[in-house]
Homo-oligomer: A and B are copies of this chain.
Amino acid sequence: MATVLKIRTKTSPAAGQSHAASSCDVSPAAKLPLGTILAGDCIAAMAAIPDDSIDMVFADPPYNLQLGGNLLRPDGSTVDAVTDDWDQFASFAAYDLFTRNWLAQARRILKPAGSLWVIGSYHNIFRVGTAIQDAGFWIMNDIVWRKSNPMPNFKGTRFTNAHETLIWAAFDEKAKYTFNYRAMKTLNDELQMRSDWLLPICSGQERLKHDGVKVHPTQKPEALLYRIMLATTRPGDVVLDPFFGTGTTGAVAKRLGREWIGCEQEARYRDAAMERIRSALPLDERAIKTMQSKRQAPRVPFGMLVEAGYIAAGTMLVDKKRRFSAFVRADGSLDAAGATGSIHAVGAQLQNAPSCNGWTFWHVMHEEGLKPIDTARQLYLLANEE
């Protein structure tokens, strides 16, 4: 199936070389529609781009969300869902065909040393990843964008969907791709940049609005594109985005001295993007700050200590004066005479107090005497520093 859609094999570097050689005195870059947004379907638009001419393709394709009816928040308000036509596909097969088609074009126009980046969620990323591998790309990393402020799961039916996944792939297994290792290490306080990135979603001033309404439902944060381009392109490189939307890729490319090309079907997105890129100012300080990984102290829930065996389920906890006792359950809740709940809630309830710091209130019995459960938390933090 994959081979049908694979436009060319291009396994040997020689093929790319000969093509470059054939382009006479005009450099391939001169023919590229740099700094423009191509209208229409991205597959057709990419067909106008020469082979082996793009240094990076960044793609944020439709996720094929398949949402049901309206979703209400606990306060009764309605969630503004992504129900746009461009996200609707008849079947997985239709989505796969669409994916393989645009990937085939992306592969054709990408230089042998170029990088492919795609972002998605669990709805589509597995299909996209499979197609990337089948097309012959070589996956370098999957990157997890951990959202610091995701939308909660309002109905309590699943885990909060708090991340999206990016795939970074080189042209093939042998490709000489660009990876600015030092830049990434510097950005991360002299520690190797990990595959999980903590970044806020796009909101506030950065979010494009028209009459107070967001222009695009899924605008990506500039900090995300900033890190991607800094990691895998060089100044002057050409970045193409087949799903340009409101032009985050273009704005960041301009900021970082990279060239850009976009493809976008919807005129109102194209207009907003051109306007935005024209007036692009240096990344505001907030955006840059969020990219430098804060050495934030990880929060350690009591349940994690139970899970990790620092305090076993079944342990009996007591307060300092041994007036109260409580039993630790598997989920980190406490079971005391007449009260169950968190270490804080049970402590408060037993004392008939409005609140209670369970970490210092509850103790574990040792031979040497009582130890507050907070010491277990300290031990955990020591052992699991990132």
Contacts and interface: CB of A to CB of B under 8 A. Distances in A.
Contacts of A152: 192
B385 A355 contact: no
A288 interface: yes
Interface string A176-197: 0001110111111111111110
A269 interface: no
Contact of A196 (B162, B167, B293, B314): B162
A134 B133 CA distance: 17
Contact of A76 (B88, B222, B353): B353
Given A159-B194, A188-B301, A198-B298, A329 B289 contact: yes
Contact of A163 (B144, B186, B298, B333): B144
Interface in A286-322: 286-291, 293, 298-299, 301-304, 306-309, 312-314
Max chain B CB contacts within 10 Å: which of A125, A142, A190, A230? A142
A332 B159 contact: no
Interface stretch (A19-27, A43-51, A334-342): A334-342
Contact of A125 (B123, B129, B353): B129
Contacts of A341: 186, 291
A161 interface: yes
A127 B127 CA distance: 8
A140 interface: yes
Copies in the complex: 2
Interface in A345-364: 351, 353-356
Contact of A159 (B143, B162, B328): B143
Nearest to A157: B179
B76 A195 contact: no
Counting chain A residues whose Cβ lies within 8 A of the other chain, the interface size class is 35 or more
A158 B133 contact: no
A266 B152 CA distance: 43
A189 B301 contact: yes
Contacts of A375: none
A185 B167 CA distance: 30
B129 A355 contact: no
Given A85-B9, A290-B331, A383-B200, A189 B76 contact: no
A329 B287 contact: yes
Given A72-B355, A125-B126, A148-B385, A195 B331 contact: no
Contact of A160 (B186, B195, B288): B195
B299 A122 contact: no
A289 B189 CA distance: 28
Interface string A127-142: 1111011101001111
Contacts of A11: 84-85
A211 interface: no
The 10 closest A-B pairs by CB, nearest first: A126-B129, A187-B303, A189-B301, A162-B194, A122-B142, A290-B331, A183-B331, A287-B314, A156-B181, A287-B313
Given A127-B130, A156-B293, A200-B384, 18 more contacts: A72-B355, A85-B136, A122-B141, A126-B126, A127-B129, A141-B158, A160-B195, A165-B165, A186-B303, A189-B302, A199-B308, A200-B383, A230-B330, A287-B330, A288-B330, A290-B329, A290-B333, A291-B340
Interface of A: 2-3, 9, 11, 72, 76, 83-85, 88-89, 92, 121-123, 125-130, 132-134, 136, 139-144, 146, 148-150, 152-153, 156-163, 165, 167-168, 173, 179-181, 183-196, 198-200, 222-223, 226-227, 230-231, 256, 283-284, 286-291, 293, 298-299, 301-304, 306-309, 312-314, 327-333, 335, 340-342, 351, 353-356, 383-386
